[in-house]
Amino acid sequence: MIITGYHGTSKEYGNEIINNKKFNKSTGKEQWLGTGIYFYRGYEDALNWAKKYHGDIMVIHAVINLENDKYIDLDSSIGRAYYRKAVEILKGFDYISRGTAQENQCAIANFIWQEWSYIQLIMAAFPTEPSAFKMLKDAREYRKEFCIRDNKYIKAINYIDCIL
């Protein structure tokens, strides 16, 4: 399976990525898809993220190549099954109910990485803006992002001129 991804970052770090042909993993307890290397499926999403967090920006285009059984999309029926299983296991330890939604999401993703170590990429859609109020049908716009565990699956890294 080949996936195209876009990584928004600062020009300084982007040049480091291009020169070293390697990304650093994002860590911490508030990473939506756990510890790993983050990409958006869409260029515009990566550009908007970079604009929000960096001054002088760059978007990196990457091609990821891995076997079909090494990834899960949490929006698919199989992905939701992994997610529900992880929640059920962690719920038994009273582990995920203490944090924020983002911290809990990170804990669940990191548990998936740990429990099913053959998985090398997790993908999911997340809202682009905060919720205005609680509702059953979420009308917010979503963006698709994914996290990969290892640089060895990243086969091509290219700079994209940013259109501001």
| Distances from the Cα of 57 to the Cα of 2, 8, 48, 134, angstroms | 26, 7, 10, 34
Give the model confidence (pLDDT) of 106-137 as tens digits: 989 999 999 999 999 999 998 877 766 666 67
Range of the domain at 99: 2-160
CA distance 88 to 113: 16
Q: How many domains does the chain have?
A: 1
CB-facing half-sphere around the CA of 37: CA atoms within 13 A? 21
The encoded tokens of residue 3 equal 């996936």
Give the model confidence (pLDDT) of 62-113 as tens digits: 999 999 899 999 999 999 999 999 998 888 776 666 778 888 889 899 999 9
Residue 63 amino acid letter:
V
30: confidence class by pLDDT, cuts 50, 70, 90: confident
pTM: 0.89
Q: What is the mean pLDDT of the chain?
A: 89
Q: What are phi and psi of 107, to 5 degrees?
A: -60, -40
Question: What confidence score (pLDDT) does residue 134 get?
Answer: 67
E-state strands within the chain? 2-10, 37-40, 57-65, 71-73, 121-127, 142-148, 154-160
